[in-house]
Structure 1
Amino acid sequence: MPKKGNRKRLKFRAGDVCSESVTVADYANADPAVVKSGRVKKAVVNAVEKEVKLLCGLEASQGAVQEVLSSAVSVTADALESSDELDPEDGENETKVARKKKNKRRKESSESSDGEEYPVDIWLVLSSYIRPEDVCRFALICRNAWTVTCTAAFWTRLYRRHYSMDVELPFRLQPDCVDRMRCLRARVIRSLFHLYEPFALRVSKIPALPESTPTTLLNSKCLLFWVKKVSGTRPEAMWEFNFKFIQQGHSKNGSAKSLRMPRQYEDVHNNPDSDCYLLQVTTLNFIYTPVVMGMTLSLFTINVSTDMRHHRVRLVFQDSPLQRGRKRGEQGGTQVVLDPVHSVRLMDWWHPQYPFSCA
């Protein structure tokens, strides 16, 4: 295909046009380089006008001549437009122009939808009317709203708004302890599961052992392990085995660091139990178990006990975490078998019965 600069422009003269040389094919196959804008040159118009007068004998009827010329010019323009569409270079130019116009419209629409930015004081006033379950939605409105949810004033007001003397709270969740800056957010959230009725109902509906427990605890690191003797309905005392896990890849206060928490609010959001779970297994008698602190859980199963009346819990720990997409065999790990088992519970860090460690 010849380059655009090498195209030969056609030159029309009035004397070159006659009845035998002017055809419809000349306009249909016209070179786009003749008239780029789609308009016919004046020389061509005069030649066609003269030829039409000679053929139709319309020297005295200028109106009819203009009508014939307008139809001829329209045919020529349509032919030129169709030929422009077939030209790939012209198509690329039109695409670029269309993209520029589209980007300009998007920029104008974005500039018009920016809105206004309100100061933090206004968001702090609005936060006094936010329900506990809507705190996350409120923080996602804008950066200033999120900054308000980081302040100690926000969490203190939320606690005082729902506090009631009729509800029995643990000592660490009493008003005197909540006034401390350190771990303020964690304390308020834990207290809401005692004070706020929708949260308390949510805890009562959570099953003791969710179906996703094996998947949740898989590849989790055991931070702490202890055994506690508890009294039950049986004449003999039962034993409670507690495993505190943290998900691999999560560090303490990792969420605050990822969001670039302001330095003055780091103590408010400090939570040593963040991303932690407590697996509580209650057995009918004491069972010797090896030390598994610092090891990674690679297998967790719950089966029926040999007496067909209780459960049997099996935990397999490894020295190193599992790589993503790979399965580790059961051989070579440290096994913990608890049988017979009376009950199994899995609790998040905000659960009312979770033994939190924040002082």
Structure 2
Amino acid sequence: MPKKGNRKRLKFKPGDICSESVTVADYANADPAVVKSGRVKKAVINAVEKEVKLLCGLEASVGAVDEVLSSALGVTGDTSESSDDLEAESEEDENESKSVRKKKNKIKESESYDGGEYPVDIWLMLSAYIRPEDVCRFSLICKNAWIVTCTAAFWTRLYRRHYSLDAELPFRLQPKCIDRMQCLRACVIRSLFLLYEPFSLRFSKVPILPESTPTSLLNSKCLLFWVTKVSGTRPEAMWEFNFKFLKQQRQSKNGNTNSLCLPRQYEDVHANPDSDCYLLRVFTLNFIFTPVVMGMTLTTFAINVSTDMRHHRVRLLFQDSPPRRGRRRVEHCGLQVVLDPVHSVRLMDWWHPQYPYSACT
């Protein structure tokens, strides 16, 4: 290797280096965001060295090229030593960045777990400004917010906030009957579908015949079945077939049907004998004899076009027990109820104003 004093420095002209191959970002003043250490990596140095050799024809003069690169890149001494130093510095920077990230993650975890717990009285004050449709969101904030929605004070205030003197309510939903603790939540929810306009508008938009056959009744148990004659309608005789179903309750992994345990002092407030019940009301033009299906499970529910092509036809298939998982239901087994011709079909939940309420609710 020639000494440093005997090396010849090369003078490059601006037009000798191709601007497309070598850019300003490849030098020592490159963006630190691209290179963590603020210096050029060894791979970039080798690429620049190879480009300079090809452009200037200096394949043999290795020493001169090293000097030019060292002077251009601001590196003193041997390039191999500097590259080793760069690698060591980059490893140190990576280790420091990893330690900083771990500290930040620990801080975030501690901040996420550490939080302030407000008393129930504050959540009870905030509940006075909650809309009826936001009760579920409010109860999911924290445990104390959920406890507030279980209290009788919450449901009583919600009822008085939307009650008006000119409202037409049945006797069981009047303010005198609302003061009792038994089934308070169910009574307030039913009254809101008569007092609160966003809830009452839902029933006006429901068509006489559903657009598609509802599947929520499948595998539901029939609790009651009765037939009544409707007068004052066209045609003169119209029969009403009512089926009260209890939907199948899904058990949790622990075997409990209800994973949410209410406090004992609020069990009377949340009591509702009509919970998880549906009412299927079918209006026909004439009386149709139907077998007794109480206690059986509905496995098939279909709404088709009647034989006269002017009305509809409802087909219900009841079996003694719901089909097991993974097995197909047998169509020829069980009791079949066919209602034809059908004028209208309505499916009502327990909070519907026309739902036949129990004596205690």
- The equivalent of 2:12 in structure 1 is none
Say which SS state the counterpart of residue 202 (structure 1) adopts: helix
Counterpart residue number, 1:27:
none
Q: Could you say what secondary structure the match of 1:268 adopts? A: helix
Aligned counterparts of 1:353 and 1:315: Cα–Cα separation in 2: 22
Whether the 8 Å contact between 1:139 and 1:146 is mirrored in structure 2 is yes
Which residue is equivalent to 2:349?
348
CA deviation string 1:247-273 (max 9, x = no partner):
21259xx99942221111111111122
> Could you say if the C-alpha distance between residues 110 and 209 of structure 1 is closer, same or farther in structure 2, counting changes exceeding 3 Å?
farther
CA distance in 2, matches of 1:283, 1:237: 9
Q: Report the equivalent of 2:173.
A: 173
The reply to whether residue 204 of structure 1 matches residue 204 of structure 2 is: yes
CA distance in 2, matches of 1:288, 1:148: 50
Identity of aligned residues (%): 72
The DSSP-based 3-state class of the residue aligned with 1:193 is helix
291 and 142 in structure 1: CA distance in 2 versus 1, 3 angstrom threshold: same
Q: Which residue of structure 2 aligns with residue 24 of structure 1?
A: none
Deviation at 1:156, TM superposition (A): 0.3
Following superposition, the deviation at residue 322 of structure 1 comes to 2.2
Paired amino acid for 2:317? V
How many aligned positions are there?
287
- Asked if 1:237 corresponds to 2:245, the answer is no
Q: Is the 8 A contact 1:280 1:346 kept in 2?
A: yes
Compared CA separation, residues 155 and 100, structure 1 to 2 (3 A): farther
| 1:234, distance to aligned residue in structure 2 (A) | 4.1
Q: Partners in 1 of 2:235 and 2:208 — Cα distance? A: 24
8 Å CA contact 2:239–2:283 kept in 1: the answer is yes
Q: CA deviation at 1:220?
A: 1.4
Distance in 2 (alpha carbons) for counterparts of 1:100 and 1:248 = 54
In structure 2, C-alpha distance between the alignment counterparts of 1:130 and 1:255, rounded to whole Å: 31
More helix as a share of residues: 1
Normalised by the size of structure 2, how large is the TM-score? 0.70
Deviation at residue 213 of structure 1 after TM alignment: 3.8
Q: 1:191 to 1:250 in 2, by over 3 A?
A: farther
Counterpart in 1 of 2:276? 275
The equivalences for 1:92-241 within 5 A come to 102=101, 104-113=103-112, 114-234=114-234, 236-241=236-241
Letter of the structure 1 residue corresponding to residue 274 of structure 2: D
Q: Is the Cα–Cα contact under 8 Å of residues 295 and 317 in structure 1 kept in the other structure?
A: yes
RMSD: 3.3
Letter in 1 for 2:106: K
Q: Distance in 2 between matches of 1:221 and 1:119?
A: 43
Gaps of 5+ in 2: 3-74
2:83 matched residue in structure 1: 75
Q: Distance in 2 between matches of 1:290 and 1:320?
A: 17
Deviations 1:138-191 (A, max 9, x none): 112211111111110000000011111211111211112211111111110100
Q: TM-score, normalised by structure 1?
A: 0.71
Structure 1 segments unaligned to the other structure (5+ residues): 1-17, 20-66, 85-93
Q: CA deviation at 1:304?
A: 2.1
